[in-house]
DNA sequence: GTGATTTGTCAAAGCGCTTTGGAATTCGTT
DNA sequence: AACGAATTCCAAAGCGCTTTGACAAATCAC
């Protein structure tokens, strides 16, 4: 069943049927209803390839999926993708994904762009001075980055959360509670969010004339095991930190295991604030000691990005080019006054 | 730059240029070379949408990606995807992925199929009596499943590994080493591979007149933490098992943590065989006690599946409809004779 | 040198949709 | 009743490619 057949069936021209379907105003409401009815009965679905050829729009957004697992945790990626997907499906868009080695992100991105299969690109896992930006800007294809690239001029469309502010606020809270010895469980050092969170912490400390040494900052993959190892290391230090900032609840999972095994009490001996991406299976309030967190939903970010990209492709009212989401600092039981040093 | 312009540039017809490009025999080699040269110079790329409209082939394979993280481990999924991707990129194919809640797999699959964006479907995470099979067979679209569906007639194209054989062999080895008390760390109980691995173990035991009780079999997500918890439980049993079969090296990671923390020696007090999907970041030989494993590369399976699906879409020489890969049993240091029971 | 093949090329007809530029009809105004 | 404006619809021209059927030109057999 194609447009031609459908229009013959209805005794209308293809033009009218097409317009009725695509919501153009120059068609009588009664006619439109008749068309819609026929579509329901016949199960007609417009041919995507033809639509695409005629409009020049593929109805899809492309993304490169890093496949090496040491790059960020897959859990986070999956969650983000869900958000993208929820929104995309609503607009009858789809994704084209190109799995790629993290070392060939630029190449993979270019291949995806010139493949002609996508209308727009989505970029994640931003690094400091990210080489993909220059390439993207030379391409004449809309794109949107999740995050930013520290050190590059922020003249590209992005959606990011205020990582620096989040960890600044978190550190501030811990400082107010009297903590002075900090440690940071961070993601991979080259990633933008890690850089900014670190800076947020450093700035908050600097305001009090405090510093943090390199060995009190760990940069690892965002899974629980590295979190545990790093925390074990912190706990063995002669002047062990009492305030921990943690880039993910997944990392916190491991860290807390280490705290427990050391026989220490979270919220008393050790205060910890983790960034919460709102992963459905890892709610901070369900930890044995509920976690104080900086919160921002990864899934919501995905949905928003899809929304903006799709609007761009459809040339609808433009959204703001750049968005910076504030995080919420939610105090639960994993933070408490600094223990007395005797 | 399109075909028309290119052909005018060359003083040839569109037909000839098209044929030269697509490797048809009825074009002079000299002419073909001239065309190829022009393509290189102009950077001409055929318009995908037009190609698709003309041929009816989209050049893409679709898959549903479960987004709830409790379903199998993302690590495994990513690895598999890499294999698919490597092969797909070689044939200028791409994926369309539809993220979906595991509870709506059937719906997501149907939406993907009727979207008209894909030529073929790939299905994973097979369950026993999987409801998707009936739907797929009613769809007139090629598909290939990774795994099988226990309890359904195997009359669909699949690629699977011999899960039952793998765990049968593994159990056999441990039996020969004198073990009699077994435990199983398995994936989610409803998944096909878990069912078959369990059966493999049960069959091997039955041949010796042995049985395994329900509480010695754990079914969890394929990540390290559940592995650790389950193992801790096993180790606290009055007659604790000495032989452990484990559905993934990731589960083994947690299990071994539990073994170590209990002060037991792997390969002496406890023998363990894990299934190894050949995850690049988790090599069994790099464990502190190198792991005895049943091995089958997930990435290779992905590549093979892509190869078969693409060939099907291109209507090339058909591959065997059904493939069952044997696994290799590789003995390392995590298995040893059963400890003397005093 | 004639007729039968093979080889290399082309014009034109789709593929199924959107969209432009009218044309026909209806409506509101004078 | 007449006229311009709005409304509703249509024919036809693409979009850029593949593929069919036909036709010259070159090759072969005799």
| Interval A93-102: pLDDT, tens | 888 888 787 7
Considering the domain architecture, whether residues A35 and A153 belong to the same structural domain is answered as: no
Q: What are phi and psi of A248, to 5 degrees?
A: -160, 150
What is the arithmetic mean of pLDDT over A191-203?
97
Considering the domain architecture, whether residues B149 and B244 belong to the same structural domain is answered as: no
Considering the domain architecture, whether residues A213 and A268 belong to the same structural domain is answered as: yes
Task: Name the residue with the least CA to C1' distance from nucleotide C9.
Answer: B16
Range of the domain at A41: 3-46
- C-beta atoms of B47 and A95 within 8 A: no
The spacing between the Cα labelled CA in A49 and the C1' in C20, in angstroms, equals: 21
Test mutation, B58, B78, B114, B220, chain A, max A CBs within 10 A: B78
Q: What is the pLDDT of residues B152-200, one digit of tens each?
A: 999 999 999 999 999 999 999 999 999 999 999 999 999 999 999 999 9
- Within 7 Å of a protein beta carbon, the nucleotides of strand C are 7-21
Residue A149 exposure: Cα atoms within 13 Å on the Cβ side: 20
Poorest-confidence range of A66-75, A189-198, B212-221? A66-75
Under the banding of pLDDT at 50, 70 and 90, the label for residue B72 is very low
What is the arithmetic mean of pLDDT over A312-340?
89
The predicted structure's pLDDT at residue B90: 87
Considering the domain architecture, whether residues A116 and A207 belong to the same structural domain is answered as: no
pLDDT at B45 over 80: yes
Task: Name the residue with the least CA to C1' distance from nucleotide D18.
Answer: B54
Q: What is the DSSP letter of B20?
A: H
What is the arithmetic mean of pLDDT over A122-132?
91
pLDDT at B240 over 80: yes
pLDDT at B33 over 80: yes
The answer to whether position A342 is within a domain reads no
What is the arithmetic mean of pLDDT over B40-62?
91
Report the C-alpha gap between B57 and B46 in whole angstroms: 14
What is the arithmetic mean of pLDDT over A1-6?
89
- C-beta atoms of A117 and B60 within 8 A: yes
- Pairs of residues, one from chain A and one from chain B, whose beta carbons lie less than 8 Å apart: 127
Under the banding of pLDDT at 50, 70 and 90, the label for residue A104 is confident
The answer to whether position A195 is within a domain reads yes
Considering the domain architecture, whether residues B179 and B123 belong to the same structural domain is answered as: no
Report the C-alpha gap between B259 and B262 in whole angstroms: 5
The predicted structure's pLDDT at residue B97: 86
Considering the domain architecture, whether residues A178 and A289 belong to the same structural domain is answered as: yes
What is the arithmetic mean of pLDDT over B328-337?
96
Considering the domain architecture, whether residues B174 and B145 belong to the same structural domain is answered as: no
Q: What is the pLDDT of residues B76-92, one digit of tens each?
A: 887 888 899 889 888 88
The predicted structure's pLDDT at residue A25: 86
The predicted structure's pLDDT at residue B317: 63
Percent of chain B with pLDDT over 90: 63
Per DSSP bridges, beta strands A143-146 and A120-123 are parallel
Test mutation, B46, B60, B82, chain A, max A CBs within 10 A: B82
DSSP string, B27-54: S-HHHHHHHHHHHHHHT----HHHHHHH
Considering the domain architecture, whether residues B253 and B180 belong to the same structural domain is answered as: yes
Q: What is the pLDDT of residues A251-262, one digit of tens each?
A: 999 999 999 999
What is the token pair recorded at B146?
Answer: 């990774």
What is the arithmetic mean of pLDDT over B236-254?
95
Considering the domain architecture, whether residues A154 and A194 belong to the same structural domain is answered as: no
Task: With CA atoms as reference, report the closest residue to A245 among A265, A269, A275.
Answer: A275
The predicted structure's pLDDT at residue B256: 95
The answer to whether position A157 is within a domain reads yes
The predicted structure's pLDDT at residue B71: 46
What is the arithmetic mean of pLDDT over B17-45?
90
Measured in angstroms, the CA of A225 and the nearest CA of chain B are apart by 9
Under the banding of pLDDT at 50, 70 and 90, the label for residue A176 is very high
Percent of chain A with pLDDT over 70: 97
The answer to whether position B55 is within a domain reads no
Alpha helices in chain B (DSSP H): 3-10, 14-21, 29-42, 48-55, 74-90, 105-114, 132-138, 163-176, 192-207, 224-235, 249-261, 298-313
pLDDT at A317 over 80: no
pLDDT at A75 over 80: no
Poorest-confidence range of A243-257, A277-291, B178-192? A277-291
pLDDT at B49 over 50: yes
**Which residues of chain B are within 8 Å of residue A45 when distances are taken between CB atoms?**
114, 116
Report the C-alpha gap between A203 and B69 in whole angstroms: 35
Report the C-alpha gap between B34 and B28 in whole angstroms: 10
The answer to whether position B51 is within a domain reads no
The answer to whether position B49 is within a domain reads no
Considering the domain architecture, whether residues B262 and B308 belong to the same structural domain is answered as: no
- C-beta atoms of B49 and A45 within 8 A: no
Higher pLDDT, B298 or A319: B298
Poorest-confidence range of A317-321, B235-239, B334-338? A317-321
The answer to whether position B52 is within a domain reads no
Q: What are phi and psi of A270, to 5 degrees?
A: -130, 130
- CATH number of the CATH domain containing A40: 1.10.260.40
- C-beta atoms of A69 and B60 within 8 A: no
Instruction: Select the residue of A68, A81, A111 nearest B67 (Cβ to Cβ).
Output: A81
- C-beta atoms of B253 and A95 within 8 A: no
Under the banding of pLDDT at 50, 70 and 90, the label for residue A222 is confident
Task: With CA atoms as reference, report the closest residue to A97 among B114, B55, B65.
Answer: B65
Instruction: Select the residue of A52, A81, A84 nearest B49 (Cβ to Cβ).
Output: A52
The predicted structure's pLDDT at residue A74: 64
Find the closest chain A residue to B101 by CA distance: A82
For chain B, the average pLDDT equals: 91
The predicted structure's pLDDT at residue A72: 46
The predicted structure's pLDDT at residue A68: 60
8 A C-beta contact, residue B310 and residue B61: yes
Number of domains in chain B: 3
- Within 7 Å of a protein beta carbon, the nucleotides of strand D are 7-21
Test mutation, A44, A50, A63, A94, chain B, max B CBs within 10 A: A94
- C-beta atoms of B77 and A79 within 8 A: no
Find the closest chain B residue to A116 by CA distance: B48
Q: What is the pLDDT of residues B114-154, one digit of tens each?
A: 888 899 999 998 999 999 999 999 888 999 999 999 999 99
The predicted structure's pLDDT at residue A279: 87
Token pair 């226990």: residue: B150
What is the token pair recorded at B229?
Answer: 């918890």
Question: Which stretch, A7-11, A87-91, B291-295, B338-342, has highest mean pLDDT?
Answer: B291-295
Under the banding of pLDDT at 50, 70 and 90, the label for residue A223 is confident
Higher pLDDT, A182 or A117: A182
Considering the domain architecture, whether residues A94 and A116 belong to the same structural domain is answered as: yes
Instruction: Select the residue of B45, B50, B78 nearest A69 (Cβ to Cβ).
Output: B78
The answer to whether position A307 is within a domain reads yes
Residue B156 exposure: Cα atoms within 13 Å on the Cβ side: 29
Higher pLDDT, A316 or A41: A41
pLDDT at A120 over 90: yes
- CATH number of the CATH domain containing A169: 3.40.50.2300
Poorest-confidence range of A169-183, A283-297, B94-108? B94-108
Q: What is the pLDDT of residues A6-37, one digit of tens each?
A: 999 999 999 999 999 988 888 888 889 999 99
Report the C-alpha gap between A248 and A117 in whole angstroms: 34
Considering the domain architecture, whether residues B278 and B242 belong to the same structural domain is answered as: yes
Higher pLDDT, B294 or A75: B294
The spacing between the Cα labelled CA in A27 and the C1' in C30, in angstroms, equals: 29
């Amino acid at each position: 069943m194609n447009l031609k057949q459908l229009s013959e069936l209805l005794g209308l021209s293809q033009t009218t049927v097409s317009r009725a379907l695509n919501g153009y105003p120059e068609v009588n409401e009664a006619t439109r209803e008749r068309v819609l009815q026929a579509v329901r009965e016949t199960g007609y679905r417009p041919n995507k390839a033809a639509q695409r050829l005629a409009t020049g729009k593929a109805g899809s957004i492309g993304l490169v999926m890093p496949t090496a697992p040491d790059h960020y945790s897959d859990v986070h990626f999956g969650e983000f993708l869900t958000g993208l997907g929820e929104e995309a499906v609503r607009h009858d868009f789809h994704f084209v994904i190109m799995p790629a080695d993290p070392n060939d992100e630029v190449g993979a991105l270019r291949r995806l762009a010139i493949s002609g299969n996508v209308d727009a690109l989505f970029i994640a896992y931003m690094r400091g001075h990210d080489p993909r930006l220059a390439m993207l800007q030379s391409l004449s294809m809309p794109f949107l980055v999740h995050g930013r690239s520290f050190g590059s001029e922020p003249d590209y469309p992005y959606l990011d959360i205020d990582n620096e502010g989040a960890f600044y606020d978190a550190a501030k809270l811990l400082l107010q509670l009297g903590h002075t010895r900090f440690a940071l469980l961070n993601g991979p050092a080259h990633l933008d969010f890690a850089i900014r969170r670190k800076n947020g912490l450093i700035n908050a400390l600097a305001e009090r004339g405090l510093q943090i040494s390199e060995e009190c900052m760990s940069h690892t993959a965002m899974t629980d095991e590295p979190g545990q190892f790093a925390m074990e290391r912190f706990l063995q230090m002669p002047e062990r930190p009492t305030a921990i900032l943690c880039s993910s609840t997944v990392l916190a999972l491991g860290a807390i295991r280490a705290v427990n095994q050391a026989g220490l009490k979270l919220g008393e001996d050790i205060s910890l604030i983790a960034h919460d991406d709102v992963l459905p299976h890892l709610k901070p309030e369900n930890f044995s000691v509920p976690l104080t967190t900086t919160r921002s939903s990864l899934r919501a970010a995905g949905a928003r990005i899809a929304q903006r990209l799709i609007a761009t492709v459809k040339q609808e009212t433009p959204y703001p080019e750049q968005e910076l989401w504030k995080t919420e600092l939610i105090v639960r039981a994993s933070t408490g006054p600094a223990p007395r040093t005797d």
